[in-house]
Structure 1
């Protein structure tokens, strides 16, 4: 269980979309400082917000950030990309980029910040997953989220000894620019941020944000074809 009030947090992709909502929620709950990353960060009028340049596919960029953000107690892996092409028609460069960003990026962040979290008392590592972690037909994006889910579950075991709370957050689509072209019911980013923060402070290891996600998770013991979302067929 992690206390947000007075804590120092890091939110990758924290200056737009869901990342911005997460940052605002952390600050509303009293976070002392939030590092927010972007490829081209913009200055913030709030002195509690510290923008940092980051390319999650670049190990040197991650290492440079870790040298600056040595006081972090909460890490939220939020940055991601979505390429919607079916796997058999996708450009392999897009598939590789998706995994580099959505899977290997968060893993590199975890590797870089695990010692920092330990030095600062354990803290928390939060990975943003998706209901598509458990669904077929979502191309490289769904496959990458499934891989990240597995990775998060393994990291939870590996980080338990240092007292780091590892949280996986699953949701349908949040109403952000990344999914504006997808026709589906969408959650407000603020709703997702509230659920994440509640789960973090409540000691959760997994947060299922919306009812649809909870229904899909409960059906994991059924046939795989039953988990294909209608709008992805």
Structure 2
């Protein structure tokens, strides 16, 4: 789709990757609604802040009514509680599923008719390499992202007939607040935002944005032995 002249809503746009996505869209000529639980935390000029908590159906419905001209939705809002699947608090596991899966689905259900009614467009779900491979430190996060990826695949088939393209962005650690305690390599979120918007403009269904995600994707044919060599 053409970004210039489009109208986009980005969830979790007050910081991190979401802020960079909103900024990149603006730079390319889009009108941007910046969703955040606290709209006062949105500091980008020239965007329209929108109060949006994707886990609150009333908030999602109000955002869809306010941003009625949207033809591009980017589902970026997320959390990582780093909850252990065996011993961690189940309420935190539920919170991650409520956010990444149910919250994202709720937002798509609200905005898909809007996008279709505006002649069609694109929905981008910000996924993760952890939707494909998982480790104990991020057990609950990866499980929720895997569910979001499965939902992305189902909805891209269902919404294609309504001229709504559903894409997924896969990326490893980003140099943002969410990964502040991670000591390994991290990608620049501004660069990933540019790649993501490039992918939207190219009508890509799957945007694999960094080397670690490409390596994991390439390991699929090898099964468990390739993805988890420590088990061999």
| Superposition TM-score tier, normalisation by shorter sequence | over 0.9
Could you say if the C-alpha distance between residues 45 and 147 of structure 1 is closer, same or farther in structure 2, counting changes exceeding 3 Å? closer
| Separation (CA, whole Å) in 1 of partners of 2:228 and 2:147 | 17
| Separation (CA, whole Å) in 1 of partners of 2:229 and 2:65 | 42
| Separation (CA, whole Å) in 2 of partners of 1:91 and 1:228 | 26
Deviation at 1:228, TM superposition (A): 4.1
Partner of 1:135: 133
Partner of 1:17: 16
Deviation at 1:229, TM superposition (A): 9.1
2:79–2:178 CA contact under 8 A, matched in 1: yes
- 1:222 is paired with a residue whose SS is helix
| Separation (CA, whole Å) in 1 of partners of 2:146 and 2:87 | 20
Deviation at 1:135, TM superposition (A): 0.9
Residue by residue, what CA displacement relative to the aligned partner does 1:18-64 show, whole Å, maximum 9, x if unpaired? Answer: 10000111011111x11111111126562x30001111111111011
Partner of 2:192: 192
Could you say if the C-alpha distance between residues 148 and 172 of structure 1 is closer, same or farther in structure 2, counting changes exceeding 3 Å? same
| Map 1:1-233 → 2, pairs under 5 A | 2-31=1-30, 33-42=31-40, 44=43, 46=45, 48-137=46-135, 138-224=138-224, 226-228=226-228
Q: Which moved more, 1:163-172 or 1:221-230?
A: 221-230
| Separation (CA, whole Å) in 2 of partners of 1:50 and 1:176 | 23
Structure 1 residue runs of 4+, over 3 Å off? none
Q: TM-score, normalised by structure 1?
A: 0.94
Residue by residue, what CA displacement relative to the aligned partner does 1:41-98 show, whole Å, maximum 9, x if unpaired? Answer: 126562x300011111111110111111100010000000001132002100100000
| Separation (CA, whole Å) in 2 of partners of 1:224 and 1:41 | 43
Structure 1's unaligned 5+ residue stretches are none
Residue by residue, what CA displacement relative to the aligned partner does 1:150-194 show, whole Å, maximum 9, x if unpaired? Answer: 100101001001111111000011111011112221001111101
- 1:118 is paired with a residue whose SS is helix
- 2:91 is paired with a residue whose SS is helix
Could you say if the C-alpha distance between residues 165 and 93 of structure 1 is closer, same or farther in structure 2, counting changes exceeding 3 Å? same
Q: TM-score, normalised by structure 2?
A: 0.94
2:39–2:49 CA contact under 8 A, matched in 1: yes
| Separation (CA, whole Å) in 2 of partners of 1:166 and 1:223 | 26
| Separation (CA, whole Å) in 2 of partners of 1:190 and 1:68 | 28
